């Protein structure tokens, strides 16, 4: 779809369509929405986007993007800095943070080991993780990487380097999702959930108290 009659519109559509998952048709729809929007709304959007580059930093401890040199989570004295949850990216960190169930801190690797994509250990924040473990009294490392071959590889890589150096290395529980129906769950997940079954008392700890 060409918009060769307006260079300004064409230019905006081209720029918007560079965003991941946005085609030219959607880009045109968004551009025309902005044409009809209030000037202040468009300026606020443009400034918010610019600030993503000009103002955001990377936390020196956990490598999450952050407003300051140390992110709010790492700087929070209420968080347990001795329990580190390892995630591949900030989206997974936000997902865990939104559960409200984790009171430790994070370590953002920036991906997982994937030889197919040319991503080796040196391109991830792995040395930084090992350095953190060696220089802090870390009690537990929780590996919250994706449940894929690459995630497994990275899990083992971290395990090999950390085992013996910290008291506990754990993984996210894999199993039947809350609200999921058994007949629709894939066999691997269902099989694992039988092998790694938990006691009734553990599951309903709070209800039994």
Q: Which residues bind its own copies (CB under 8 A)?
A: 1-3, 5-9, 11-12, 14-16, 18-22, 26, 28-35, 37, 39, 41-56, 64-67, 71-73, 89-91, 94-95, 97-98
List C-alpha distances in Å: 202 to 140, 153, 155, 207: 20, 30, 25, 10
- Minimum Å gap between C-beta 69 and its own copies is 13
- Of the two residues 25 and 168, which places its CB atom closer to its own copies in the complex? 25
- Minimum Å gap between C-beta 172 and its own copies is 19
Q: What is the DSSP string of 37-83?
A: S-HHHHHHHHHHHHHHHHT-EE-TTT--EESSSS-HHHH-TTSEEEE
- Minimum Å gap between C-beta 165 and its own copies is 28
- Minimum Å gap between C-beta 42 and its own copies is 5
Alpha carbon distance 108, 63 (integer Å)? 5
With beta carbons less than 8 A apart as the criterion, state whether 169 and 133 touch: no
- Of the two residues 20 and 164, which places its CB atom closer to its own copies in the complex? 20
- Of the two residues 57 and 168, which places its CB atom closer to its own copies in the complex? 57
């Amino acid at each position: 779809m060409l918009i060769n009659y307006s260079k300004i519109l064409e230019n905006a559509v081209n720029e918007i369509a560079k965003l991941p998952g946005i085609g030219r048709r959607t880009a045109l729809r968004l551009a025309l929405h902005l044409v009809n929007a209030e000037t202040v709304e468009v300026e606020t959007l443009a400034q918010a986007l610019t600030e993503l580059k000009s103002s955001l930093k990377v936390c020196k401890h956990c490598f999450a993007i952050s407003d300051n040199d140390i992110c709010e989570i790492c700087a929070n004295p209420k968080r347990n800095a001795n329990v580190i949850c390892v995630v591949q990216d900030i989206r997974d960190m936000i997902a865990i943070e939104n559960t409200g169930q984790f009171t430790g801190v994070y370590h953002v690797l920036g991906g997982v080991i994937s030889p197919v994509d040319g991503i080796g250990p040196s391109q991830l924040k792995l040395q930084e993780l090992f350095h953190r473990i060696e220089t802090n009294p870390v009690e537990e490392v929780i590996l919250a990487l994706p449940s894929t071959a690459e995630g497994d590889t990275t899990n083992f890589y971290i395990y090999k380097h950390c085992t013996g150096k910290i008291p506990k290395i754990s993984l996210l529980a894999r199993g039947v999702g809350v609200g999921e129906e058994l007949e629709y769950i894939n066999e691997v997940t269902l099989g694992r959930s039988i092998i790694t079954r938990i006691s009734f008392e553990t599951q309903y700890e709070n209800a039994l108290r």
